[in-house]
Amino acid sequence: MGESSSEVTPFQRLSWPVRTDRLLIRPIEPPDLPAIFAIRSQAEVAMWLSGTVTDYDAFVEEWTTSDRFDTTLVVELGGKVVGDVFLRATDAWSQRETRDQARGTQGDIGWLVDPAYAGQGIATEAARALLALCFDGLGMRRVTAAAFADNTASLRVMEKLGMREEGRGVREALHRDRGWVDGVNAALLADEWRSIPD
């Protein structure tokens, strides 16, 4: 979906679906939108998203006319969509002479899970699979994630994944309910990922 492009997206270079011990992870499809909307429109989920989701038609319009289908994977547990994960390939900063070598070497990831399934390690399991796709499937050298500093559940996932906190922006983001809040940026390198014990 999204705008047509001759460029191959990262998802098109991988084999689907991906299975973990409990989960099935695959690219999002239009029939998934009602389930994703139902999860994202919950107040405790929307609290940490970039915007509140309240109108289904507007949600569908946004998701089908943007790159969301090129960057979103659904997470299923027992055949039910219980969340989604996000992956965007990015270019590392480089000097002009090395720009081609820096293309697509980094990934930016995110995750969310239906609160009805919170506390079961689903976000960590899905994000760990996403890291494997980044490092082993796509050959990326660095992956980053960001969250509001008050989003302790996401910070715990980052920690469980072995991600290193690289920066905390003091009151860098304006939250609709909480005012100016801190943000956390974390990262993991491919060699660090490969050194984490199973």
In the chain, the domains with their CATH numbers are 10-194 (3.40.630.30)
- Report which of 97, 105, 110 is spatially closest to residue 184, judged by C-alpha positions: 110
Beta bridge mates, 27: 73
By the 8 A CB rule, do 85 and 121 touch? no
Per-residue pLDDT of the chain (198 residues; tens, 9 = 90+): 444 444 667 788 899 999 999 999 999 999 999 999 999 999 999 999 988 889 999 999 999 988 999 999 999 999 999 999 999 999 999 999 999 999 999 999 999 999 999 999 999 999 999 999 999 999 999 999 999 999 999 999 999 999 999 999 999 999 999 999 999 999 999 999 999 887
pLDDT at position 4 is: 42
What's the pTM? 0.91
pLDDT at position 185 is: 97
CA distance 140 to 148: 25
By the 8 A CB rule, do 101 and 91 touch? no
* Residues in contact with 187: Cβ distance below 8 Å, sequence separation at least 6, in sequence order: 142, 143, 144, 145, 163, 164, 166
pLDDT at position 121 is: 97
CA distance 53 to 67: 17
DSSP class of residue 136?
I
DSSP alpha helices (H): ranges in 80-189? 99-102, 122-132, 152-160
Burial 58-79 (b: 16+ CB within 10 A, else e): ebeeebeeeebbbbbbbbbbee
pLDDT at position 2 is: 45
By the 8 A CB rule, do 113 and 122 touch? yes
pLDDT at position 7 is: 61
